Structure 1
Amino acid sequence: MDERKRDSMIAYLRHRMEEFGITPDTLATALASDESEKTKARYRAVTGETWSGEGEMPQWLRQAISAGQSIEHFALSPKAAEATPAKRGVDWEKDPFAGSPLARSGGR
C-alpha cells in the first residue's frame, strides 16, 4: 500500500469523524453492531456490502439496479445470509481519494 495514500485516507477519516462528532469508541460500537447485522442480510454485493431489505436502499444497490441489474441477482438464500463473507483487502489502486485536493493536501 502506498504510504502517502494511507496517510491521506487516515487524515480524511479523522477530519470527517471530528466534523460529525464521532469518537473512536462510538465507531467501535457501531462496527460491532454492524457485524451482528450481517447475519440479517438479504442482499449482498460482490464487495461484501450487505443490505437487510429494511430502510433506505444502499447506493451500491441503487446504482446496480439503475444500470439494469435485477435486485434478485443480489438476493441471498437463507443459508447464505447466515454465512459471514470472507474479508477482502482494499484495492488501493482504485482509491477514491487519489488525486483529490484532500489527498494532495494531506487532509489539511
Structure 2
Amino acid sequence: MDERKRDSMIVYLRHRMDDFGIGPDDLASFLATATEGADTGRYRSAGGDTWSGEGEVPQWLKQATSAGQSIGHFEFSGRTRARPAKQTDADRKNDPFAGSPLAGSSHPKP
C-alpha cells in the first residue's frame, strides 16, 4: 500500500472511530484483553467456532470441506479477531471509500 493510500485509510478509520465514540484508549484496552483470553485453536469458522486441529474434526468443518471448501480457508494465525460491530446509520457523505470494495457492498455512493 502506498503512503497516500495508507494516510487516507488512517483518516477514514479515525473518522469512523469518532462516529462510533471509540477512542485510542478503548482500542488499546480491547486489544490488551483480546489477546489475554485468546483461543489456541488453529481453525475458525465464520461464526467463531474453533478447532485446534487435534481430535475429531468438528461438524461445522466436516460440512464445509464436504461442500468443497479447503480446510486452509479456515486456518488463522492464532490472534483473536474481533467480531464486527453492529452497523448503525452513520453519515457517509464524507466517506472516502464509498462505492469502493473497502466500503462493502451495502453502502451506496453518497
TM-score > 0.5, shorter chain as reference: no
TM bracket, shorter-chain basis = 0.3 to 0.5
Larger Rg: 2
Structure 1 or 2: larger helix share?
1
Task: Using structure 1 for the length normalisation, give the TM-score.
Answer: 0.43
Query: Which one scores higher on RCO, CA 8 angstroms, separation ≥ 6?
Result: 1
